[in-house]
Amino acid sequence: MQFRFTLHRTDGSARRGTFHTPHGAVDTPAFMPVGTQAAVKALTIDQVRSTGAQMILGNTYHLALRPGEQVIRDMGGLHRFMGWDGPILTDSGGFQLYSLAQNTKVTEQEATFRSHIDGSLLALSPERAIAIQEALGSDVAMVLDHVIALPAADDVIRDACERTIRWAARCKAAATRSDQAQFAIIQGGLDPELRVWCTMQLAKLDFPGYAVGGLSVGESPDEMVRVLDVVCPAMPADKPRYLMGVGTPQDLLNAVRRGIDLFDCVMPTRNGRNALAFTDEGPLRLRNQVHQRDERPLEQSCPCLACRHSRAYLRHLFLADEMLGPILLTHHNLTYYQRLLADARQAIEQDRFVEYMEAKVLGWRNRTLTNGQSCKSPDQWSG
Amino acid sequence: MQFRFTLHRTDGSARRGTFHTPHGAVDTPAFMPVGTQAAVKALTIDQVRSTGAQMILGNTYHLALRPGEQVIRDMGGLHRFMGWDGPILTDSGGFQLYSLAQNTKVTEQEATFRSHIDGSLLALSPERAIAIQEALGSDVAMVLDHVIALPAADDVIRDACERTIRWAARCKAAATRSDQAQFAIIQGGLDPELRVWCTMQLAKLDFPGYAVGGLSVGESPDEMVRVLDVVCPAMPADKPRYLMGVGTPQDLLNAVRRGIDLFDCVMPTRNGRNALAFTDEGPLRLRNQVHQRDERPLEQSCPCLACRHSRAYLRHLFLADEMLGPILLTHHNLTYYQRLLADARQAIEQDRFVEYMEAKVLGWRNRTLTNGQSCKSPDQWSG
């Protein structure tokens, strides 16, 4: 078996596992840096590796548009193209059809849309989403799901959810590569019953992994947690569970606590490019005057490239519009996320995950209380 | 003596030496990457080091404006601020007063100008240029010179040249740090007699190093060579000779052949950000369609970060507007320049510099002849 998920230990609902793929193993819970266009923005592939990342994410939608999946296939597949020899998961494009493409129209057969790059009219069906991902050669391919804007009428949410299940079955039927696992995507908005129903329908199709989609799209952290509270127990325990597009450090710990194994999010990279650094004492905004002569690194014990420099230097780089500012803060934030989950894995192994989580949350909140910066919980991480 | 220039060998007029500074030795001929704003654009300081660079350049004008030399002094000086423990040379601001500042007016006492950042009215005198550079703590400070636009009337060129000499004397008198060496700057436009006269006047002031300024400002390569042909023999043989702001790979070899020891130029970094890669077969423009499926690296034997990837991947990064494109090509181009000069040093040691240079030039020209790209000598490198 090229794909295998081993559950080593649970601590409450939190899970410590290993996800085995043809390109190596991933210690879970794990965070996947986002490499949308066959590159994690601002970093060389060695730098991505040095953050501690074991698995990364690429995007079907973007790569099919540019450079085109045939180019990547002809160049030996996505791993070789971008120089990453570890596991890769590719998103299916379902979310980008909702968030990025223009004039998206969904029929039972397929979604049609206009490219956000040149406006050309294109189509994406479940079969085509899998064909693209097989050409890319990712280890994990996501099924094409029907993502809708929330809030929406109940029947609209249910219709998209049911289509997502039918499309998942079509994706599964379209698979031809044994070295690629498909993960199904659970939809259903914020409706607990629909979410659980969707989970059980998809579980019957016996996918090697399951994802929770349609979250982190504007709902509150409490609403997200309520969905996870009902969905996680309904998800197959012996398969990896992936929460898509989430989220803040606190979101991650909230979800790990409920049994999620895999994450991806642009938050560490995008915020890094915008001069926001994640720390155990909450976010630091590096453009602020307060850092002008601050000799301290972002975090004393952080092994990243940014923390070899002073906050004063990092601030200067952003004010002077030097690319090195985004580069260094991206490396710091991804390192922060990897350390957060590495420490979470250790805490689960030692049966003290809740204690670990509460200490982290306290640290993030203390900063708000002590220096009155504009980082209020629960949105303090929204940057 | 904290500063010492040792001449190991000459091959014709080409010189193989070592320039000793308080922050270490530099093998010459050497190329200094430009770190204008306390950062070499697009690279971490480790990546700068990994190109083979031993000495880098910073800019008085930019750093005095932002973050201000007092901030850098308070943070322990420029070396510590940017995390570079090797030698640093700082330009004096003379060239930026000419090229970048607005409304520059020069009197005998000082230059007044408006900041290119916020338009504020500022002044730079020889004494202030040295005070700033002493606050920065660079190993080599450049004297403030009077740079003018060419072509200009003879008396204007002579007036600026004479002022440059008087300002050099004032810079020397203003020095208070024994761990900083000042290099004088030879001006005089394209007038051979004036250049030689300026060189001899400055030589009388006994500086630890001499620079040729006012070149690479639009004159032809032949005109540059003619200036070097008369200036180099007039420069003190026992001091390092620095050709400012030059140039293309061929410019560098032209100048090494005539006895220049030090170079700086934005060409490898700026061109790298604009998708032009320097190679032994001439420049490659990475956005071109011809690279779409090209599996080859830029150069087979190059140890840089870009050459771990295919040309197809590099092209994709530029078309997709990923920062990694500029990052990788900057690393390649700086590595190319460092290897060009490392090989030049070896050729001088082995008394075969002209042979080495001719082989290089032939390689660069062959490309033009064989594939008809738009890279015509002598402007083939202007990118």
Q: Which two tokens stand for residue A109?
A: 């057969």
The answer, yes or no, to whether residue A376 has pLDDT greater than 80, is no
d(CA B203, CA B186): 10
Query: Could you confirm whether domain A4-265 is CATH 3.20.20.140?
Result: no
Cβ-nearest to A324 among B44, B317, B328: B44
Nearest CA in chain A to B305: A44
Partner-chain residue, chosen from B82, B313, B319, that has the shortest CB–CB distance to A313: B82
pLDDT at residue B368, as a whole number: 53
Is B351 an annotated catalytic residue? no
Question: Which chain A residue lies closest to B83 (C-alpha atoms)?
Answer: A309
Give residues 284 to 323 of B whose Cβ lies within 8 Å of A.
292-293, 295, 305, 308-310, 312-313, 315-317, 319-320, 322-323
Judge contact between B321 and A36, C-beta under 8 A: no
* Integer Cα distance of A168 and A203 in angstroms: 11
Looking up tokens 């849309």, which residue turns up? A113
- Nearest residue, CB atoms, A292 vs list B62, B71, B316: B71
> Which residues on B lie below 8 Å from A315 (Cβ)?
67
| Active-site entry in A11, A145, A251, A264 | A264
Distances (CA, A) of A122 to A128, A171, A356, B364: 11, 19, 47, 43
Helical residues (DSSP H) of B146-213, grouped into ranges: 154-174, 192-204
Residue B371 has pLDDT above 60, yes or no: no
Among A365, A146, A80, smallest CA distance to B295 is for A80
Position B376 confidence tier, pLDDT thresholds 50, 70, 90 = very low
Rg over alpha carbons for chain A, rounded to the nearest Å, is 20
Q: Which residue in A290, A287, A286, A244 sits closest to A267, CA to CA? A: A244
Count of A-B CB contacts under 8 Å = 114
Of B11, B91, B145, B261, the catalytic one is: B91
pLDDT exceeds cutoff 50 at A92:
yes
Q: What confidence tens digit (pLDDT) does each residue in A230-260 have?
A: 999 999 999 999 999 999 999 999 999 999 9
Residue A372 in this model has a pLDDT that exceeds 60: no
Q: How far is CA A23 from CA A3, A138, A179, A183, B11, in A?
A: 10, 9, 9, 17, 54
Tell if the CB–CB gap between B44 and A327 is shorter than 8 Å. Answer: yes
Residues 6+ apart with CB under 8 A from A203: A210, A234, A235, A236
Check B41 against A75: CB less than 8 A apart: no
Q: B339 to chain A nearest CA, in Å?
A: 22
Q: Of residues A11, A91, A139, A280, which has the active-site annotation?
A: A91
**Contacts of residue A293 in chain B, CB cutoff 8 Å?**
71, 74-75
Of the candidate ranges A90-104, A367-381, B42-56, B353-367, the one whose mean pLDDT is the lowest: A367-381
Give contacts of A66 with chain B, Cβ < 8 Å: 316, 319-320
From B66, B309, B319, residue closest to A320, measured CB to CB: B66
| The CATH number of domain B4-264 is 1.10.10.10 | no
Which of B38, B75, B320 comes nearest A37 by C-beta? B320
Q: How high is the pLDDT of residue B273?
A: 98
Q: In what order do the strands lie in the sheet with A24-28?
A: A4-11, A14-21, A24-28
pLDDT at A214: 92
| B-chain residues near A83 (CB < 8 A) | 308-309, 313
Q: What is the mean pLDDT of residues B355-379?
A: 67
pLDDT for the residue numbered A217: 84
Percentage above 70 pLDDT, chain B: 95
Mean pLDDT over the full length of chain A: 94
Per-residue confidence (pLDDT) for residue B218, from 0 to 100: 85
Convert the pLDDT of each residue in A216-233 to its tens digit: 888 899 999 999 999 999
**Across-strand partners of B112?**
B105, B123
pLDDT tens, position by position, A16-40: 999 999 999 999 999 999 999 999 9
Q: Which residues contact B169 (CB under 8 A, 6 or more apart)?
A: B205
Cα(B60)–Cα(B101) distance, integer angstroms = 13
* Gap from A326 CA to chain B (nearest CA, Å): 10
Q: What is the mean pLDDT of residues B67-85?
A: 98
Residues facing residue A112 across a β-bridge: A105, A123
pLDDT 10s digits, B236-274: 999 999 999 999 999 999 999 999 999 999 999 999 999
Indicate yes or no: CB of B322 within 8 angstroms of CB of A46: no
Structural contact between residues B260 and B228, judged by C-beta atoms closer than 8 angstroms:
yes
pLDDT tens string A311-331: 999 999 999 999 999 999 999
Interface test with B, best of A75, A116, A287 (most B CBs within 10 A): A75
d(CA B119, CA B64): 14
The answer on pLDDT for A361 being more than 60 is: yes
Confidence band of B366 (pLDDT split at 50, 70, 90): confident
**Residue B32 pLDDT > 90:** yes
List the structure tokens of A298: 């972002």
Which residue in chain B has the smallest CA separation from A316?
B67
Start-end ranges of CATH 3.20.20.105 in chain A? 4-265
How would you classify the pairing of strands B121-124 and B111-114?
A: antiparallel
CATH 3.20.20.105 residue spans of chain B: 4-264
Q: What residues of A are in contact with residue B83 (Cβ under 8 Å)?
A: 308-309, 313
Q: Residue B1's pLDDT is what?
A: 67
Question: Which residues in chain A are contacts of B43 at CB distance < 8 A?
Answer: 324
Return the residue matching tokens 């709902």.
A219
Q: How far away is chain A from the Cα of B272, in angstroms, using its nearest Cα? A: 13
Q: What is the pLDDT of residues A105-123, one digit of tens each?
A: 999 999 999 999 999 999 9
Q: What is the ipTM of this complex?
A: 0.95
pLDDT classification of B367: cutoffs 50, 70, 90: low
Closest partner residue to A42 among B37, B295, B323, by Cβ? B323
Nearest partner of B95 among B165, B152, B162, B147, judged by Cα = B147
Residue in A104, A120, A303 with CA at minimum distance from that of residue A112: A104
State the pLDDT at residue A164: 98
